Amino acid sequence: MSGLINISELYDLGGKVAIVTGGAEGMGKETCRFLASAGATVAVADINLPWAQKTAGEIVAAGGKAHAYQVDLGSEQSVVDLVRSVRADQGRLDILVNVAGLQDREFLEDTSVELWDKLHHVNLRGSFLTIRAAAKVMKTDGNGGRIVNIASMGAVHPIFEGLVAYNASKSGVLGLTRNAAYELAAHGITVNALLPGNVTTEGQARSPGPPIDMEKIKHMTPPLGRTGRTSDIASAILFLVAPASQWMTGQTLVVDGGHLNK
């Protein structure tokens, strides 16, 4: 009989370098904290540089390794510059987590082409740009890699009105994930998507559009009895970027408290 397994090694990110887009707050910030706690050097990438600097500073003060970078996912050059800068500054790139996204809301008949294009530009096109840039570096370095895209439970099962453009963009992220996984597998780069359920964040609260009916939300409590926490998502992301998930790619991991089982 074999001996016991060193479980800590399955979640050890020591020596790894990770980019987390949208890392300044909410799920992105918690993801940065989890990855740094596992030993990774984290590039906190966000359009809001002061907030990214604050998050990176908090991680460093707690004993982790983190650096702030500004990125505009709507700009191809900004994304290319981010990946190049992280690779140049940190010497490698092992992990990319695409958390950043917009959740502006409009009912279907009120949805403008401008809103549709805006959400697809950031949520889908932005994820494509970061994956493309990171994959080039990972393939050149030859060390494999881990890529995780944050989609949404709404990509497979809408739960309230006003998110037609958002959910459509996140459905596109699922197709992007599967195809990127297929092309990059030969290079030891895994690509997976995570579908969060309802997680209340600052960014969600600020998103413009029709107000969310809180009474409806109360009746949408999943079987596990509560809405999600940012730590629920960050811990699942940690699994997807750690050695524990090394034989998993092109998959969609639902973290929703059991909502889709109702």
Average pLDDT value for the chain: 93
pTM to 2 decimal places: 0.94
CA distances from 143 to 139, 186, 258 (A): 7, 12, 36
Q: Which residues are catalytic?
A: 166
Domain ranges of the chain: 13-261
Q: How far apart are CA 1 and CA 241, in angstroms?
A: 30
Give the tens place of pLDDT for each residue, 13-31.
999 999 999 999 999 999 9
Is the per-residue pLDDT at 136 higher than 90? Answer: yes
What CATH superfamily classification does 13-261 receive? NAD(P)-binding Rossmann-like Domain (3.40.50.720)
Go through 26-38 and write b for each residue having 16 or more CB atoms within 10 A of its CB, e for each that does not: bbbbbbbbbbbbb
pLDDT at 214: 63
- Residue 216: the pLDDT is 66
**Is the CB of residue 214 less than 8 Å from the CB of residue 171?**
no
pLDDT of residue 159: 77
Give the tens place of pLDDT for each residue, 193-218: 999 998 876 655 555 456 666 666 66
- The mean pLDDT value for 88-94 works out to 98
In this structure, which amino acid lies at residue 186? A
Provide the percentage of residues in the chain whose pLDDT is more than 70: 92
